[in-house]
A = this chain, B = another copy of it.
Amino acid sequence: MLVNEAYFAAKGWPSMFTLDNILDRFYPLPDTSKNAIMQLVEEVSYPKGHVLLTADKVERHIYFISKGIVRAYADTPTGLVTFWFGAEGDVALSMKSYISGEKSYEDIELLEDCNLYRINIEKLKALYQQDIHLANWGRKLTEYELVRTEERLIAMQFKTAEERYTDFINKNPEWLLRVQLGHIASYLGISQVSLSRIRAARR
């Protein structure tokens, strides 16, 4: 994808996220710990449209996105609502399955052909009990997600729909080229018609 490469280069990122890049993103691991976790990793690839994990099922893996973009959505009385996008370097997971072993709240669907690294949750948690570096890595992983989730919550509570849209395109300019506006609208908590109005006002 040419689009992605230009975007990565502009941010000074590698042109593809290797497993090494992704694991180091949260917490620097000594080699022995990194080897231990790499034992658990499986590489998988799925085509655009594939549903990575499904609501009302306990998901046994977490995924790291090496290439591609995905969305998490939930089935609500008003339709399918996207509440998360993940792209290169992000972790795609069901929080409920990962944290409390419960059924997932959401589907995660691939919006492009994706390369992913997959780790079995049960085995990962066993490592957390054996290796203090990995326990702290796991702590940082959750902290990272918490910061992102809190930012989203604050935006929903403090900001207007227009501000949330502006923030979205400033933070993720090329996502606009990779994701449908209808998905972005529900991610921002507004109808697609509202998003269209906001976009029209900015021209």
Chain A residues proximal to chain B, CB less than 8 Å: 74, 76, 78, 81, 83, 95-96, 99-100, 105, 128-132, 135-136, 138-139, 142-143, 145-147, 149-150, 152-154, 156-158, 186, 189
Give the one of A78, A81, A129, A156 with max B CB within 10 A: A156
Q: Which of B136, B147, B189 contacts A95 (CB 8 A)?
A: B147
Give the 5 A-B CB pairs with smallest separation, nearest first. A135-B135, A139-B139, A132-B132, A156-B156, A142-B142
Kindly provide the distance from the CB of A66 to the nearest chain B CB, expressed in whole angstroms: 24
| Overall SS of chain A's interface | helix
Q: Which of B76, B83, B139, B157 contacts A189 (CB 8 A)?
A: B157
Kindly provide the distance from the CB of A25 to the nearest chain B CB, expressed in whole angstroms: 14
For the complex formed by this chain, how many copies does it contain in all? 2
- Residues from chain B with Cβ under 8 Å of A149 in the complex: 146, 149-150, 153
